[in-house]
Amino acid sequence: MLIPRDRRHALSWAGKLLAHNRPTWSCVSRRSVLPTATISPRRFATVTPETPKKPYYITTPIFYVNAAPHVGHLYTMIIADILKRWRTLNGDTEAQLLTGTDEHGMKIQQAALAAGMDTQAFCDMNCKTFGALAKAANMDYNYFIRTTEPAHKDAVQYFWDMLNHRGYIYTSKHEGWYSVSDETFYPATQVQNSLDPTTGRKRMVSAETGKEVEWSSETNYHFRLSAFQERLLDLYKTGFIQPSRYDKDIIKSVSSGLQDLSISRPTERLTWGIPVPGDETQTIYVWLDALVNYLTKAGYPFPPGKESQLGWPADVHVVGKDIVRFHCVYWPAFLMALDLPLPRNVLVHGHWTINHEKMSKSTGNTVNPFFALDRFGVDTMRFFLAYQGGLAGDADYDNAYIIRDYKKLLQSGIGNLAHRTIGCSKKQLRTYIVNGTTGGLPPAQEHDLAFERIVQETPAKVATHMEELNPRAALQEIVDLAEKAQKYFHAAAPWENQTERQRALYNIVESLRITGILLQPFMPTKSKELLDLLRVDNSDPSKRSFSAAAFGSDLDYGEGVKKKILFPQLIVED
């Protein structure tokens, strides 16, 4: 896998860190006359090693408030939150996480009309639902943005002015197939005939999303997207899109040629949005509006010399695969046009399906995320979605799968291991830890050494996966450590082998302590319970930081340990 150069250096730091911790921005006036000057090629900004340190900046897409959230929204939130918490675990207390709501566009205008509500009141109501979901998921976000905020309107109109000032905006008549649901035009090659499954009515739909399209002809503003084909193709060579499997279709599409992009809608069709500066007859296209939110939170328009003060460029945009084109073609092209630094990565994930079919409101096979969180618990859902979620593809959702993973991997896995270890030590776990850290253990057998190597290597493996933006693989490494600890427990049989009990129990409790540390971004509450159970010092943050996830690095835990059921019987109603 091709790793972007700005992340290559990060892949070796974890081992060194762990080894060290083992013991021995004035706005120009707006213009209403659109220039048609020849565009000179521009180089898009790159981040150099001399760039001052900035806060690590992670974003979710901002969620469209035309309908209630589903489990896919929850998954995106959790993945982004895991990345943020991972940075915090590594001592980056300034790391920033942005989430929020996209509240403009034709879909919302129509949804509010259908609900018989004032559009702003409709947005206010649904915005609260997404905010409630972020809190219910224990999401450690720093800012919840709304595109109806005055600061965002100012940022978008300034952004438009700059594109206009540089000659990237012109007027033209536009004809094509328009999808209200997708808020985008599609060329004739990307639409097809279809039958409405509920009415049998013939209709034209997008071949990509299956959403209905209608023929539209109007005069509006266009962005010279075609000017950025080669620079976009160069960008994709850097590993900008992760996982790499998602760049193939984008590269193919961009290589075949880019058409200029319609970036406004006549107000007789769309009033709910940000007006084009100097032209009240046009409303800014929702996808230009929405994407600028990432800059708004970072303080755009930037004070000179302080472009990165609040985190820009974003280190990671976490998005679903259905909005890759907007984030990986339109967004970088907009930024290139203004010589603004580009996001460092776009992390794409697949969809959640039921019985391997895409979730759809029309078929009634969606999952209410609030019900799921209430039924199974927050950390259980965070664990399941992160462990089984599809980054490189789709994943199937089933309540039975959640129960299966809970019982096998958490209850009978980590929970049972902790319970048996404390029981086997007869609550005198501190004695074994002292002996383990002072050299008072019996000679290591081959199976002891093999397991100790696994415990020692796991944190660096987890760190590598996280730096490669693969939290699923990182979590699988942690689970694998717990499973191997179970096997080691059985092989060493410390309950009957007095000679090996000292080393075996020390090795196992160390694996549990390290598991608790590494699980913190994934299961914040349960990992704390595990570390509390082991009496790992909570008053000293360094004791629960990533640097402490080194075999033998903590000499002081384990005093007064008592048995506790970490993962009790899961009681769910059918």
Is 443 among the domain residues?
yes
The whole domain housing 489 covers 399-548
Predicted pLDDT of residue 10: 42
How far apart CA 415 and CA 569 sit, in angstroms, is 11
Which contiguous run of DSSP H or E holds residue 319?
Answer: strand 316-320
Is 441 among the domain residues?
yes
Is 463 among the domain residues?
yes
Is 33 among the domain residues?
no
Is 294 among the domain residues?
no
Domain count, the chain: 1
Q: At 65, list the tokens.
A: 């408030």
Provide the residue type at 49 as one letter.
P
Q: What backbone torsions phi and psi does residue 122 show, to the nearest 5 degrees?
A: -60, -45
Residue ranges of the chain whose pLDDT lies below 50? 1-17, 20-49
Give, in degrees to the nearest 5, the angle at Cα 99 between 293 and 523: 155
Is 447 among the domain residues?
yes
Which contiguous run of DSSP H or E holds residue 156?
Answer: helix 150-165
Predicted pLDDT of residue 182: 64
Tokens 């040629």 label which residue? Answer: 257
pTM (predicted TM-score): 0.86
Predicted pLDDT of residue 183: 61
Q: Answer for the pair 264, 76: CB distance below 8 angstroms, yes or no.
A: no
Predicted pLDDT of residue 364: 72
Is 378 among the domain residues?
no
Is 79 among the domain residues?
no
Q: Which CATH number is 456's domain given?
A: 1.10.730.10
SS3 of 545, please? coil
